[in-house]
Amino acid sequence: MENNQFSEFNQKYKKALNEYLNDNIESESHLLSGYQLGRNSVADNLGILSVVAIHHDSLIEYLENFKKDKYSEITDKASIFLQEVLAPYQMVAKDFQNAITLINKNILNFSHRIQDLQEREAQLKVLMAKQEASLKEKESLLKEVYHRVKNNLQVVTSLINLQVETIKDLSAKHILIESETRVKSMALIHEMLYQSENLSKIEMPKYMNGLLNYLIEAYSIDINKIKVITDVDQFDLTIDYAIPCGLILNELISNAIKYAFPNKNQGRIFVSLKKIKNDITLTVTDDGIGLKETFDIDTVNTLGLRLIDNLSKQISGTMTLKKQPGTNFIISFKIE
C-alpha cells in the first residue's frame, strides 16, 4: 500500500473507531463499517500488523481524553471493533489454509495414483515379458513344424523322383512328374515360411519365381526356346490362399509346357498375378497352338483341370477360359 493510501486508511480508521466508541448503544452499523475497513485493507494488501498498530495509536489518542477509570471499559469495547476489522484477515487465512489442505490432499492422491500406475506398469512389463517369451516359444515350435513338413514333402518328392528314373513308360513317368511338382509347390511354401520372419504369410513374387524355376527344370525346358514372362505385384498371401494359388499355378504352367508347344517349339508363357485392394487375379496365357474349338471345360475330366476347379472353389474364386489364339486362364478371388 502506498503512503497516501496508508494515511487515508489511518484517518478513516480513527474516525470509525471514535464513532463506535462514542456510540453508547453500540450500533451494528459502526461494527459493519469496521468490517468494511478490514475488507478494504485486505484488498489493498495492508498487513495485519499495520492494522493493529493503527488501532493501537488510534485507541491511545482516544483514551487521552478520558479518565483512567474508563480505560478498561473503552479498551474492551475497542477490542470488539478490532475483531470486526480483522475478521476478513481471518477469512483469508482460513481460505488459504483450506487451499493448502486441499493441495496437500491432491498431492497425496496424485502420489498414490503414481504409485498405482507404477505398480500396474511393473505388472504389465512382467505380463508382456511372459507373453513375449510364450510367443517366441510358439514361433520356434511353428518354425519347427514348417521345417518338418518341408522335409517330409522333400522326402516324398525324392521318392517320386527315384521312381521316375526307374520307369520307362513315358505316360506313367509324366504322371509321376506331375505329382512331384504338386508336392514341390507345397514344399516351397513351407520352406519359405521356415526361412521367413513372418510365419503366416508368403511373399508371392519370390514364391512364384522359385516355383517357375523349379517347373522349368523339372520339365527340362529350354529357356532359349520357351520363355516365361512374369508380371507379379509385390504383396503377401496367407498360407490359406498361397497353397491353393501355388497348386493352381503349377497345374496351369505344367499344362502350358506339356501341351501348348508340341515338340518344344518356340513360344512364350505369360504369368500375371495382380492385386487391387482385396481382389486377386491370376492369369496364365500362352501363345501356343491353343485348344480345339470343340473343347468344353465343363465336360473335361482330367485330374489337372479338376484340381484347378476345386482349388478355385476352395478360395471362393472363379475360373475363366479363353481359347484361340493360344490359351488364357484367369483365376479371380477375394482375400479377407
Mean pLDDT of successive 10-residue stretches along the chain, which has 336 residues: 71 81 73 78 75 77 66 75 76 58 61 78 86 78 76 84 86 85 84 76 89 86 88 92 90 86 82 94 91 75 84 92 85 92
pLDDT of residue 102: 59
Contact assessment for residue 197 and residue 188, using Cβ atoms and an 8 Å cutoff: no
pLDDT of residue 70: 65
pLDDT of residue 101: 62
Give the span between the Cα atoms of 233 and 248, in whole angstroms. 18
Give the span between the Cα atoms of 269 and 284, in whole angstroms. 7
pLDDT of residue 153: 80
180-193 as b/e: b if 16+ CB within 10 A? bbbbbbbbbbbbbb
pTM, two decimals, is 0.58
Contact assessment for residue 329 and residue 309, using Cβ atoms and an 8 Å cutoff: no
Give the span between the Cα atoms of 55 and 250, in whole angstroms. 108
pLDDT of residue 114: 72
Half-sphere exposure of 102 (CA within 13 A, CB side): 6
pLDDT of residue 282: 95
pLDDT of residue 234: 95
Cα dihedral: 109, 113, 119, 120 (round 10): 150
> How many Å is the Cα radius of gyration of the chain?
49
Phi, psi of 169 (to 5 degrees): -70, 120
pLDDT of residue 232: 94
pLDDT of residue 1: 53
pLDDT of residue 104: 59
Long-range contacts of 220-227 (CB under 8 A, 24+ apart): 221/257, 221/264, 222/264, 225/261, 225/264, 225/265, 225/266, 225/267, 226/257, 226/261, 226/264, 226/266, 226/267, 226/268, 226/269, 227/267, 227/268, 227/269
Give the span between the Cα atoms of 284 and 271, in whole angstroms. 5
pLDDT of residue 271: 94
Contact assessment for residue 33 and residue 16, using Cβ atoms and an 8 Å cutoff: yes
